[in-house]
Amino acid sequence: MNRAGRAAALVLALLGTRAAHAQSGIRFELFDVSWVQAERSQRRACFGLGFDHDLNSHLAFGVDAQFGALQIGKNEFRDSSGDQFAMNYRAYYLIGDHDGTSGYVGSYVGFRSSSFGATRTDHATSIPLGFRLGLRGSLPGSFGDIFLQAGAQLGGHLPNVTSGGGLSGFEVGVGIHVGFGWE
């Protein structure tokens, strides 16, 4: 297929998506906590931005960029800005219609780069992969998303870290996101 044919196919796909009453939205990730370290008493809270798009009344996807902001330990609540960066892709099925608040079930996969240790000199890169359950409002106007996710982290183990700062294989996360959308 030549360039003109590829461009025409892209335009038709975009027009077809628009004709299917697709909706889009920008999300602000205000509260997103994951238990991602080997020591379960430590959690990371991330902030970020995301983009959501409903392909039709039941299928949707989204992409997120997250930045580590706080590390919460047993007797510790310290700023650790910049020691985690993540990009995530989500695909999910809306149980109800996308024109109202609906529960959903889906999956996620991403890329995460994290720093550990008191001086943040130990780095790990991992691929988070898992399932997500949540409740999301309709995208046009303002919306909210409350979710619970569980999955695994592929790669990123730090065997030389003895303080419990290495990445775990299993992760659990919860979050509350808000945003605005359009048709």
Residue 128: domain span: 24-182
Q: Answer whether residue 19 is part of any domain.
A: no
Beta carbons within 8 Å of 148's beta carbon, 6+ residues apart: 132, 133, 134, 172, 173, 174
Position 38 scores a pLDDT of 55
Q: Which tokens sit at 76?
A: 């510790």
Position 65 scores a pLDDT of 94
Question: Distance (Å, rounded) from C-alpha 141 to C-alpha 176?
Answer: 17
Position 133 scores a pLDDT of 98
Q: Answer whether residue 13 is part of any domain.
A: no
Counting as low any pLDDT under 50, the low residues of the chain are: 19, 75, 77, 79, 81-82, 159-164
Q: Answer whether residue 135 is part of any domain.
A: yes
Question: Distance (Å, rounded) from C-alpha 96 to C-alpha 60?
Answer: 12
Position 15 scores a pLDDT of 54
Question: Distance (Å, rounded) from C-alpha 172 to C-alpha 155?
Answer: 17
Q: Which tokens sit at 157?
A: 């183990």
Q: Answer whether residue 8 is part of any domain.
A: no
pTM for this entry: 0.76
Q: By C-alpha distance, which of 66, 60, 63 is closest to 31?
A: 66
> What are the helix and strand counts (H, E) for the chain?
1, 9
Q: By C-alpha distance, which of 109, 122, 104, 131 is closest to 159?
A: 122
Q: By C-alpha distance, which of 136, 133, 134 is closest to 178?
A: 136
Q: Answer whether residue 14 is part of any domain.
A: no
Q: By C-alpha distance, which of 44, 24, 60 is closest to 115?
A: 44
Q: Answer whether residue 6 is part of any domain.
A: no
- CB 133 within 8 Å of CB 105: yes
| Number of domain units in the chain | 1
Question: Distance (Å, rounded) from C-alpha 57 to C-alpha 97?
Answer: 5
DSSP conformational letter for 157: -
Q: Answer whether residue 2 is part of any domain.
A: no
Question: Distance (Å, rounded) from C-alpha 134 to C-alpha 82?
Answer: 27
Q: Answer whether residue 160 is part of any domain.
A: yes
CATH number at residue 88: 2.40.160.20
Position 77 scores a pLDDT of 47
- CB 70 within 8 Å of CB 87: no
Position 28 scores a pLDDT of 96
